[in-house]
């Protein structure tokens, strides 16, 4: 059921163009000290799951194992906040996660988010960021899943 | 009027309902016809007709259409059963078959007239008991007080616990605020309308908007099914005078007893992603929490619209005005965790989620889930609860 990555390369390219200027613009994040996640930390989708057909408006529910959630800006050991990456790849790991339509920040510690997507296939990926929105080292990241909006 | 002929062998009777039966106030009556067929009213067919139920009335004249009123119920669509509601006391019921013109057949096809008795008090289902001494009251609002058109009304409770609607508990309930209303019937669900406000999620205050003038307010606690307790837990009915904000001299109290609770959005919901109510789970299971319209923050972090989870195992809802206790039955997820692996001995257990603020005090309104019951299957290696 999984469709080939190539078939929506155009979509990806478009989103990268959109996201590009953010990384180009920020030069301050060069030497951010990245947090170490606790052992066994894992972020995953409760819903939707890979390959699922979903309505245009649906709730993404996020699970997190062996770690806690804290709002952005709160420095607390073994915590982070969720980011939902839609139709995009994670950026360079040492940089803060950009904030745009493709990188949805759940900065208040939310564990679910309602998204509305146009019909067709889309990719979703979860990436945890620390208090400065920077991914951990190694990143706490879900596999990229593909869903079909009907 | 022309009457349709009917076979003499046709028989009409009630199903499962006999003379002198005791019945609840609302029940389903079923009709059985043999030797004839059922046809909707208006369809002229040989040896066919439709039912009529006569309640508390003699037989009508048989040579004209059966009247249509509260005592003569027509089933012109060909129905063979009906749910009827009767007042307490004795009632008579009789079935009468009639043709397409609602005229009884010749000879008339009818059942025996039976008498049923509706119990005076629907005592089949006992009301939830309330411990003596349980009471509800208005905080800082006295009889005769003057309040602005938009006022915050706070509810106090003593000797009985607050549990959300839907959650059964031995000595718990949720508030109802009766505005300009008499005490409703205590043996049934409290009505839900503008005069009977439900606080099914365990809220202990409300922003009430009332037109200027005299109004009455009363609190009435309801159990998991919104039915008042036995004895009912209710406050005095107080009279308040509502005056327009503009000229209102701040007569409302400012100081509120107890510590201030952190506000939560009204639509915040905490729920179990896993397990669901009634599920059978492994002795060692990961309990997963969902939170809607709020965020998670570790304990100690005071940020608006955030809180941290507490998993309550086999305990009633704790007091909502104080920090949630921390012990084996009140599991704190102070690190902002959204799931927890627990090990339980086999058997039935209850689980409930309760969100609390930086200081472990539940929000106002409290963000808590229903208390669910799960069955832990036997055969685990460990039967001691971990941590």
Beta bridge partners, B354, equal B310, B368
Mean of pLDDT values over B18-37: 86
Q: Which of B293, B298, B307 to mutate to test the interface with A (most CBs of A within 10 A)?
A: B298
Please give the Cα distance from A68 to A82 (Å, whole number).
Answer: 10
Predicted local confidence at residue A31, as pLDDT: 52
Name the percent of chain B lying above pLDDT 70: 92
- Check if the beta carbon of residue B148 is closer than 8 Å to that of residue B243: yes
Closest Cα in chain B to A74: B301
Please give the Cα distance from A52 to A148 (Å, whole number).
Answer: 6
Q: Where in chain B is the domain with CATH 2.60.40.10?
A: 11-118, 135-247, 269-376
Looking at the complex, report in whole angstroms how far the Cα of residue A115 sits from the nearest Cα belonging to chain B.
Answer: 14
Predicted confidence band of residue B104 (pLDDT cuts 50, 70, 90): very high
Please give the Cα distance from A63 to A43 (Å, whole number).
Answer: 6
Q: Does B306 touch chain A (CB under 8 A)?
A: yes
Predicted local confidence at residue B182, as pLDDT: 86
- Check if the beta carbon of residue A30 is closer than 8 Å to that of residue A91: no
Q: May I ask the CATH architecture of the domain B269-376? A: Sandwich (2.60)
Q: Does A65 touch chain B (CB under 8 A)?
A: yes
- Check if the beta carbon of residue A104 is closer than 8 Å to that of residue A84: yes
Looking at the complex, report in whole angstroms how far the Cα of residue A136 sits from the nearest Cα belonging to chain B.
Answer: 17
Mean pLDDT of chain A: 82
Name the percent of chain A lying above pLDDT 70: 79
* pLDDT, tens digit, 9 for 90 and up, residues B203-244: 888 888 888 888 899 999 998 888 898 888 999 889 888 887
Query: Shortest CB distance from B273 goes to which of A46, A65, A70?
Result: A46
Question: Residue A15 pLDDT more than 60?
Answer: no
- Identify all chain B residues contacting A49, using CB atoms and an 8 Å cutoff: none
Q: Are strands A53-54 and A68-69 parallel, antiparallel or unpaired?
A: unpaired
Question: Residue B103 pLDDT more than 50?
Answer: yes
- Identify all chain B residues contacting A76, using CB atoms and an 8 Å cutoff: 298, 301, 335-336
CATH of domain B135-247: 2.60.40.10
Q: May I ask the CATH architecture of the domain B11-118? A: Sandwich (2.60)
Query: How crowded is the C-beta side of B84, counted as CA atoms within 13 Å?
Result: 26
- Identify all chain A residues contacting B294, using CB atoms and an 8 Å cutoff: 108, 110
- Identify all chain A residues contacting B290, using CB atoms and an 8 Å cutoff: 46, 61, 111-112
Q: How far is CA A16 from CA A20, A85, A101, in A?
A: 6, 12, 11
Q: How far is CA A49 from CA A43, A52, A124, in A?
A: 13, 6, 10
Question: In the CATH hierarchy, which top-level class contains the domain A5-149?
Answer: mainly beta
* pLDDT, tens digit, 9 for 90 and up, residues B37-79: 888 888 888 888 999 999 998 888 888 899 888 889 888 888 8
Q: Which of B43, B52, B46 is nearest to B100 (CA)?
A: B43
Q: What are the boundaries of each domain within chain A?
A: 5-149
Q: Does B288 touch chain A (CB under 8 A)?
A: yes
The pair of three-digit structure tokens given for residue B45, joined into one six-digit string = 């067919």
Please give the Cα distance from B111 to B50 (Å, whole number).
Answer: 13
Please give the Cα distance from A143 to A123 (Å, whole number).
Answer: 10
* pLDDT, tens digit, 9 for 90 and up, residues B162-201: 888 888 878 888 999 998 888 888 888 888 888 888 888 8
* pLDDT, tens digit, 9 for 90 and up, residues B342-385: 999 999 999 999 999 999 999 988 999 999 999 999 864 544 44
Tell if the CB–CB gap between B297 and A61 is shorter than 8 Å.
Answer: no
Per DSSP, chain B holds a count of helices (H) and strands (E) of: 0, 27
Please give the Cα distance from B169 to B131 (Å, whole number).
Answer: 12
Predicted local confidence at residue B269, as pLDDT: 92
Q: Does A51 touch chain B (CB under 8 A)?
A: no
Query: At residue A14, what are phi and psi to the nearest 5 degrees?
Result: -60, -45
Q: Does A67 touch chain B (CB under 8 A)?
A: yes
């Amino acid at each position: 059921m999984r469709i080939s990555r190539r078939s929506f390369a155009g979509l990806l390219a478009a989103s990268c163009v959109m996201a590009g200027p953010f990384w180009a613009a920020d030069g301050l994040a060069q030497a951010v000290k990245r947090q170490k996640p606790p052992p066994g930390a894992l972020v995953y989708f409760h819903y939707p799951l890979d390959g699922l057909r979903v309505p245009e408006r649906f709730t993404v529910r996020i699970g997190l194992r062996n770690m806690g959630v804290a709002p952005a800006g709160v420095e607390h050991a073994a915590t982070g906040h969720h980011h939902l990456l839609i139709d995009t790849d994670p950026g360079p790991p040492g940089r803060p996660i950009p904030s745009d339509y493709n990188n949805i920040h759940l900065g208040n510690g939310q564990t679910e988010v309602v998204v509305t997507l146009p019909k067709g296939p889309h990719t979703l990926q979860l990436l945890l960021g620390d208090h400065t929105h920077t991914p951990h080292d190694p990143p706490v990241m879900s596999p990229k899943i593909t869903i079909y909006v009907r | 009027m022309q009457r349709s002929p009917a076979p003499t062998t046709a028989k009409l009777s009630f199903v499962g309902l006999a003379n002198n039966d005791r019945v609840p106030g609302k029940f389903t009556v079923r009709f059985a016809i043999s030797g004839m067929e059922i046809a909707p009213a208006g369809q002229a067919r040989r040896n066919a007709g439709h039912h009529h139920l006569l309640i508390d009335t003699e037989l009508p004249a048989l040579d004209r259409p059966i009247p249509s009123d509260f005592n003569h119920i027509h089933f012109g669509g060909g129905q063979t059963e009906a749910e009827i509601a009767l007042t307490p006391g004795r009632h008579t019921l009789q079935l009468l078959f009639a043709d397409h013109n609602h005229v009884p057949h010749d000879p008339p096809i009818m059942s025996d007239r039976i008498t049923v008795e509706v119990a005076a008090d629907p005592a089949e289902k006992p009301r939830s008991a309330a411990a003596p001494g349980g009471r509800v009251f208005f905080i800082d609002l006295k009889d005769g007080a003057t309040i602005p058109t938009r006022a915050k009304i706070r509810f106090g409770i003593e000797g009985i616990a607050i549990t959300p609607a839907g959650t059964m508990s031995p000595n718990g309930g949720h508030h109802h605020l009766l505005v300009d209303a008499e005490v409703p019937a205590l043996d049934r669900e409290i009505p839900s309308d503008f005069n009977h406000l439900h606080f099914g999620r365990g809220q202990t205050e409300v922003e009430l908007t009332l037109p200027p003038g005299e109004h009455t307010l009363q609190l009435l606690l309801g159990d998991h099914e919104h039915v008042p307790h036995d004895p009912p837990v209710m406050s005095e009915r107080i009279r308040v005078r509502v005056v327009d904000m503009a000229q209102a001299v701040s007569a409302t109290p400012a100081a509120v007893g107890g510590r201030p609770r952190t506000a939560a959005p009204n639509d915040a919901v905490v729920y179990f992603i896993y397990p669901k109510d009634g599920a059978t789970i492994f002795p060692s299971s990961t309990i997963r929490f969902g939170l809607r319209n709020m965020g998670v923050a570790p304990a100690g972090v005071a940020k608006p619209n955030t809180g941290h989870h507490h998993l309550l195992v086999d305990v009633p809802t704790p007091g909502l005005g104080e920090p949630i206790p921390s012990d084996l039955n009140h599991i704190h997820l102070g690190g902002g965790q959204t799931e927890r692996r627990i090990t339980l001995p086999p058997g039935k257990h209850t689980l409930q989620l309760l969100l609390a603020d930086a200081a472990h005090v539940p929000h106002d309104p409290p963000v808590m889930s229903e208390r669910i019951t799960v069955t832990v299957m036997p055969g685990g290696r460990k039967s001691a609860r971990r941590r």
